[in-house]
Amino acid sequence: MLPYRVSLPLLALLLIALAGELAFLDWRQHQPKESPYDPIIVEVSRETGVDPFLIRALIWRESHFDALTYGLAQEHGLMQVTPEVGEEWARVNHIANFQPSDLFNPVTNIRAGTWYLNLALAHWSEADDPTPFALAEYNAGRSNALKWVDPQNPQDHLAFMQRITYPTTRKYVEVIIEKRDQYHESLRNNRWYRDFENSDAASTQLP
C-alpha cells in the first residue's frame, strides 16, 4: 500500500508541468548557440554590406563552425576558402606575407570568404535575387553558374535554381538560404545582430 495518495488533478498538473519542461528543454536545445565568431561576422558584414545571417549560414554549412576544418580540395577553415582565393584576397587588399595556413585564423578566413562571396553577389547584382546565383558560384564556380542561367529569363533566380544540374549544389543553395532565414528569426534579438540595420536591404559593396 502506498504511504500516500496523489489526487488525479494534482497528478495531471504534474504531468503538464513535466511536459512543459521537456518542451522547453527541447526548444532550447534547438536554438542556435552563440558563436565566438559572431562579433567577427557582424563586423565584416558592416564593412562589406553582406547579410550577416547569410555569412553565418554559409559558415554553418561549410564547416559547422570548426575553424580547423580542411577540405579535400585544400579548402581551409570556417568558410572553406581555397589558397587561391586567399591569395587573391590578400593581393587585392594588400595583405603582406599571406600564407594559406593563415586561413585557419577565423578573422582572416571570414574576411577572405566574405570577400569572395561579395564578389559573386556583385556579379549577379542585376538578378531579381542575387543570393542563389552567388551561392551556386561559391560552391561550383562561376563557369558552372553561368551554364545554369536561363537564356529566356537570365535574371530569374527560380529559373536558375531549376537549371542547376548538380544535385549537391542545388541542395547547398537551398539549405543555406533556409538557414539564413531561420537565423533572421532566431538571432534577430541576439546582442550581436539586433542592431544590424535592415540586413535584407544590405548593399553588396566591394572592399
> pLDDT at position 202, please?
43
pTM listed for this prediction? 0.80
> pLDDT at position 206, please?
36
Run of H or E including 53:
helix 52-63
Alpha carbon separation from 81 to 13, 14, 53, 117, 177 (Å, rounded) = 54, 52, 18, 10, 19
Taking the alpha carbons at both ends of the chain, their separation in whole angstroms is 77
User: What pLDDT digit, counting tens, does each position of 84-116 carry?
Assistant: 999 999 999 999 999 999 999 999 999 999 999
> pLDDT at position 194, please?
82
Greater model confidence, 64 or 203 = 64
Place of cell 536545445: 29
> pLDDT at position 135, please?
98
Residues 16 and 78: their CA atoms lie apart, in Å, by: 42
If you write DSSP's letter for every residue of 112-127 in order, what string do you get?
HHHHHHHHHHHHTTTS
pLDDT at 200 > cutoff 90 = no
> pLDDT at position 191, please?
84
One-letter amino acid for residue 31 of the chain: Q
The contacts of residue 169 (CB under 8 Å, 6+ apart) are 136, 139, 140, 144
Task: Report which of 189, 198, 172 is spatially closest to residue 38, judged by C-alpha positions.
Answer: 189
pLDDT band at residue 9 under the 50/70/90 scheme: low
Greater model confidence, 76 or 35 = 76
pLDDT band at residue 5 under the 50/70/90 scheme: low
Run of H or E including 133:
helix 130-140
CB atoms within 10 A of CB 16: 10
